[in-house]
Amino acid sequence: MVKQLPLTYDSAQRPPLFVDELVQLLRYRDLVYLMIGNILKNRYKRSMLGIFWMLLNPLLQTIVLAVAFGAMFKSALPHYPVYLLSGLLAWSFMTQTTQYAMGVMATGSGLLKRIYIPRATYVVAVVGNGLVNFLVSILPLALIVWFLDHPVSASWLLLPVCILILAVFTLGLALLLSTASVFFNDSIDIYQILVQAGFFLTPIMYPPSVLPEALKGWMILNPFFLLIQLFRTPIYNNTIPDVSLICGGATLAAVTLLVGWTVFTRQADHLAYRL
């Protein structure tokens, strides 16, 4: 007769939270893929045009803004729609994804309380969904580039690197903001106001040269401006971004992800109780 040993769990053997959450997330990666697909389906399931809105929305936004502001910046920015949409896509990806991430924990609170899944699953799925939308939205941009006969060069080959840097930054910021939204409800409204103000204070619709001298110096502290320039330069200027811009963007993204992941994982065990 085999003697059955009692099952014990030594909490001291648990890996650090920083590592444990990553291990569990990799273990549940199929769930992440499933959630990304569900977010896409739920977003467009009652729409007549469905996922075609991912193509139409950036086109319609560009048309409206180009009509409103194109004449104002036509001389300073040839092929203004290309300049506008390249900046708008990067801005929308970063801000809309992080805004959605702030509410996603409350949306999934029931599931978090019923079963165990890595807390970061929701945020990673939201960023993954935003990345899919971002990649699809590049197709209308390519169409406008072709229609306006805007030059295309080998600098476009650097776009995957630029997109990766934007995605890493967005994930880190989403982790930070989603944690804040659970513990501080007002953070959602505060962030929305900051995004609205940031849209007009960041050179998305206009060239940086129109900014007052007092504001130009502050642009270096605007992470969104840095990353928009990183994405826009290969497309609009047809040049490879400066090494300083690439290194600055990569460093910013890496630090943001490191801080976001550290803060989120330290609070992960408490999230279900605060929802």
Residue 11 within a domain = no
Instruction: Tell whether 51 is covered by a domain.
Output: yes
Q: Look at 214 and 172; give whichever has higher pLDDT.
A: 172
- In this model, does residue 9 exceed pLDDT 50? no
Q: Which DSSP symbol is given to 75?
A: T
Q: Which comes out higher in pLDDT, residue 164 or 44? A: 164
111-138: burial string, b at 16+ Cβ within 10 Å, e else: ebeeeebbbbbbbbbbbbbbbbbbeebb
Query: Is the model's pLDDT at 59 over the cut of 60?
Result: yes
What is the Cα–Cα distance from 175 to 268, expressed in whole angstroms? 11
Q: How many CA atoms lie within 13 A of 149 on its CB side?
A: 0
- The pLDDT, as a whole number, for residue 105 is 72
Alpha-carbon distance values, 265 to 15, 82, 130, 156, 273 (Å): 12, 40, 22, 36, 15
Locate tokens 């962030």: which residue? Answer: 191
Tokens of 143: 């169409």
Report the distance separating Cα 142 and Cα 265, nearest Å. Answer: 39
Residue 3 lies in a domain: no
- In a domain? residue 216: yes
Terminal C-alpha separation, the chain: 49
Number of domains in the chain: 1
In a domain, 7, yes or no: no
Confidence of residue 26 (pLDDT cuts 50, 70, 90): confident
Residue 262 lies in a domain: yes
pLDDT tens for 93-117 read: 999 999 999 888 766 556 666 777 7
pLDDT in tens, 201-235: 899 998 888 887 777 777 888 999 999 999 999 99
Give the structural domain span for 77. Answer: 33-274
Give Cα 245 distance to the centre of its chain: 19
Domain for residue 261, yes or no? yes
Percent of the chain's residues with pLDDT above 70 = 86
Domain annotation covers residue 207: yes
